[in-house]
Each structure stands twice: as C-alpha cells, then as structure tokens.
C-alpha cells in the first residue's frame, strides 16, 4: 500500500516537495503568530510607528523564516556528520572573540563581519546541543551511567560555558549549562549525581560570588530586594511590576500603556517587551503568549518522541529546552521572580541575533521531524 507522505519504507532520499509536505503546519503557524505579535508590540513601543523597530523586525523574521525552511531541508545525516566540526568551529570563534575582547580591553561578544555581527555564544547554544546529541547517540547506557563516560560531554559543556562567562556574559553561560543539565537529565544520568553537583554548587556559591562582577552582584542583590535602590538598579524591576500590575485583566489598550509610552518602563522594545504587552493587553494577552509558547514547546517534545533515532530525539529535546529557557527566564525576570539578566523573549523582543539563532533551531527541530523515520547508525 502506498502512502504518499509516509517515508518509513523508502530507501531513497526524500524529495524537497516531500520534505516540505512534512513540515508541521501548526508549529510554523504558532511561530508566525508570535512573531506577528512581536511586530505589533514593536509598533506600539515606537508610539505607533513602523520605524525604528517594527519594520526591521518584520524583515528579520522573513529572513529568519527563510533560514528556518532552508535548515529544515538539511538531511539529518549531514547534521550528525558535521556536528563535531560545527562545534569545534564555534569553539574556535568563541576563543577569537575572547582574545580580541581581551586585547581590546573590554567586553566583546561578537565578531563583526561588516554587514552582520556574529555572536558565537548564540551559535554555541545550537552547536553544543548537536555535539552532545551526537556523543550520546554513539555511547551505550552503561557509559552514560559511568563517571568516566560523562567526562567528555562535561568538558564539551564546561569549556564553552567558561569562555562565555569570562566574556563576561553570565546569562548565556548559565543558559548553556542549564540546557546541558537538562539533556544529561533526559538521557538518564543518575539523579544522585545531580544531587552531589547541586550540593557542591551550594557550597561553592560564596566562592563564586567573590568572582562576580559588581554589576552582576548588584543584579542579584536588587532581585532579592528591589527597593534597595529604587532609582538605580531596582528601578527596572519596580517599574516593570507597576506596568504589569496596572494592566489588570484586560489591559489599558493597544498604544495606551502609560508606563511604556511615558518611558517609565525601560528596554520596552527588548528585554521588557513582555511587560509592555501585559500592560496593554492585560492578563489575557500575557497568558495568550504563554499558551502559544506552551504549544511550541509541546510540538518540540512531540518531535522528539516521534523521532526514531536517538540523535534526533536528544537534539529536539535540547533545542526545545533551550527555547523554553528563553521564554521562562525572560518572563520570570520581568515578573520579578528571578534577577534581571539580559535574556530577550524570543520572536517578540527586538534583536537580530536571537531571532536568527532561534529560527535556525526551529529549522533543526523541523528537520528532526521531517527525518523522523530515518535510522542512523553508530558511525
């Protein structure tokens, strides 16, 4: 019996058309919906104007969408084959950024290609997940459960995380570690190991505190008590809570957010855009965003579950976790649940790098889904 889009019994490669037909329509719909909301909010953030943010964001999203489709069409075998190469290359870029930043006597997080600023730390989020997926694809469970077997993947995580933290970009570094921890958890590292690591982290915390930069210490202290410095570091979070709270259930209306439009709300087009949305559209708007993201995350997991190869499963879980962390950290931050770290809300916040890296990861997720029936050997 011939099933037109079923690929499981087919030895040959899928045609482009077949691949496109296998792209999850509702997943892409959710992404477009969020991006559209983002453009609308950026229009509002500029007091009802397409410039300077809304039209640029729309343009970037279109580029990102194209990129996503292109990545989605990449054969998963290629992704696995070049996972380490990609990882090593990205690691090299990170070193380059760190060294040039060191020479230039200041924080530097990107490589300037003239027309485009590449942020290797952003690229590393994807490269690391791919490399880890490839590594765990190839090893047996015994190796995962042994201490010796976990040394290579731990190094794969800690080296780039360390390089990113010294940039200094604590937020991204921690995100990298959190994503990897989630992957370790999923592949079956014993829970007691997490317990030991967690315990030693608590013991190490005071020492780590010593190495934090002053502004990072301030952020933590301010998070613990925003009123500590209401006009300085605490100002952001206090104003964010006022904006959110005053939005109420139904919000103040599109373009009518007083906190945002009278500039009490800082960074309203980037990190705090969720606050602005919650002020103008109330709890209804805010919960809608959470729900759409929940759908996207659910799709991510379903892609993982449906994939027949281990590499694809770990890859999908890793990328979905990465996306979840963006959403959770950003919303929890503007709601005053965690310290202010510079993590944007993906697809909605203004910014090119995150947009492109997130769209790339969505492309890979789609590729995992398209190639769900491809079986991969242990190279």
Partner 1 sequence: MNRDNDKGKVLLQRSLIMACGMALLLLGIVFRLYYLQVFQADQFKMLADENRISTRLIIPQRGIIYDRNGEILATNEQNFQVMIVAEQTANVQDTLDALKKIMPLSPDEEKRVKRDLKRNRSFVPVKIMDNLTWEEVAKVQLNIEDLPGIYIEEGLNRYYPYGEKMAQVLGYVAAVSDSDEKDDPLLEVPGFKIGKSGIEKFLEKRLRGKSGILKMEVNAYGRVMKEIERNEGQAGENITLTLDARLQEKAYDAFGEQSGAAILLDVHSGEILAFVSTPAFDPNAFARGLTHKEWNALQSNEKTPLVNKAIQGHYSPGSVFKPLVALAGLESKAIKPDTKIFCGGKMALGNHLFHCWKHWGHGSLNVVEALMHSCDIFFYETAMRVGIDKIANMARRFGLGKKINIGLENELSGLVPDREWKLKTKGEPWQQGETLIVGIGQGSLLVTPLQLATMTARLVNGAFEVVPTFFPVSDKRLLKIKKIKVSDSYLDLVKQGMFEVVNYQHGTAWRSRFDYNGMKMAGKTGSVQVRRITLQERQQGIVKQEDLPWKYRDHAIFIGYAPADNPKYAVAVLVEHGGGGSTAAAPIASQILKNALILDPVVYRTH
Q: Is 277 in the site for partner 1 (CB under 8 A)?
A: no
* DSSP 8-state code for residue 14: P
Could you tell me which residues come within 8 angstroms of residue 159 by beta carbon, excluding any fewer than 6 positions away?
91
End-to-end CA distance of the chain: 33
- Smaller CB distance to partner 1: residue 165 or 304? 304
- Residue in 259, 270, 322, 357 binding partner 1, rule: CB under 8 A: 259
Stretch that binds partner 1, among 56-64, 75-83, 193-201, 256-264 (CB under 8 A): 256-264
Quick one: which segment of 2-10, 121-129, 326-334, 347-355 binds partner 1 (CB under 8 A)?
326-334
Residue 259 burial (10 A CB sphere; 0-12, 13-18, 19+): buried
Options 74, 221, 335, 373; binder of partner 1; rule CB under 8 A? 335
Residues 128-147 contacting partner 1, CB under 8 A: 140-142, 144
Query: Quick one: 200 exposed, middle or buried, by C-beta within 10 A (0-12, 13-18, 19+)?
Result: exposed
Strand partners, 54: none
| CB-nearer residue toward partner 1: 144 or 159 | 144
Separation of alpha carbons 354 and 53, rounded Å: 15
**Do 359 and 68 form a contact (C-beta atoms < 8 A)?**
yes
Residue 112 pairs in a beta bridge with 117
| 328 is a site residue for partner 1 (CB under 8 A) | yes
Q: Return the residue of 36, 73, 186, 212 that touches partner 1, per CB under 8 A.
A: 186
Among 93, 131, 157, 187, binds partner 1 (CB under 8 A): 187
Task: Report yes or no: 374 and 76 within 8 Å, Cβ to Cβ.
Answer: yes
How is residue 200 written in tokens?
């030693």
CB of 300 to partner 1, least distance (A): 9
Interface ranges with partner 1 (CB under 8 A): 140-142, 144, 182, 185-188, 239, 241-249, 258-259, 261-264, 278, 282-283, 286-287, 290, 293-294, 297-298, 301, 304-305, 310, 313-314, 317, 321, 324, 327-328, 331-332, 335, 337
């Amino acid at each position: 019996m011939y099933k037109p889009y079923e690929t499981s019994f087919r030895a040959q490669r899928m045609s482009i058309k077949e691949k496109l037909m296998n792209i999850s329509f509702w997943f892409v719909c959710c992404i477009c919906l969020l991006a559209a909301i983002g453009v609308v909010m950026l229009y509002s953030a500029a007091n009802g104007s397409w410039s300077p943010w809304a039209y640029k964001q729309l343009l970037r999203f279109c580029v990102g969408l194209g990129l996503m489709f292109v990545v989605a069409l990449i054969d998963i075998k290629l992704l696995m084959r070049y996972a380490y190469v990609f990882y090593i290359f990205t690691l090299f870029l990170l070193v380059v950024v760190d060294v040039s930043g060191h020479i230039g006597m200041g924080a530097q997080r990107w490589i300037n290609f003239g027309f485009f600023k590449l942020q290797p730390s952003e690229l590393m989020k994807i490269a690391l997940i791919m490399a880890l997926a490839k590594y765990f694809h190839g090893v047996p469970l015994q190796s995962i459960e042994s201490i010796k077997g976990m040394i290579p993947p731990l190094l794969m995580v800690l080296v780039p995380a360390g390089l990113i933290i010294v940039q200094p970009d604590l937020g991204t570094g921690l995100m990298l570690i959190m994503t990897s921890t989630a992957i370790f958890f999923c592949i079956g590292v014993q829970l007691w190991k997490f317990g030991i690591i967690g315990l030693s982290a608590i013991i190490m915390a005071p020492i780590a505190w010593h190495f934090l930069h002053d502004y990072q210490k301030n952020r933590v202290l301010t998070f613990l008590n925003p009123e500590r410095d209401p006009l300085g570091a605490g100002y952001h979070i206090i104003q964010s809570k006022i904006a959110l709270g005053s939005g109420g259930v139904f919000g103040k209306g599109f373009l009518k957010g007083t906190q945002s439009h009278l500039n009490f709300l800082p960074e309203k087009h980037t990190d705090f855009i969720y606050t602005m949305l919650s002020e103008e559209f109330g709890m209804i708007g805010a919960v809608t965003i959470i729900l759409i993201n929940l759908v996207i995350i659910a799709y991510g997991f379903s892609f993982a579950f449906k994939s027949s190869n281990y590499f694809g499963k770990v890859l999908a879980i890793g990328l979905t976790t990465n996306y979840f962390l963006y959403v959770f950290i950003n919303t929890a931050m503007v709601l005053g649940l965690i310290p202010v770290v510079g993590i944007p809300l993906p697809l909605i916040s203004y910014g090119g790098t995150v947009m492109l890296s997130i769209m790339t990861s969505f492309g890979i997720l789609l590729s995992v889904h398209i190639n769900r029936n491809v079986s991969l050997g242990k190279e």
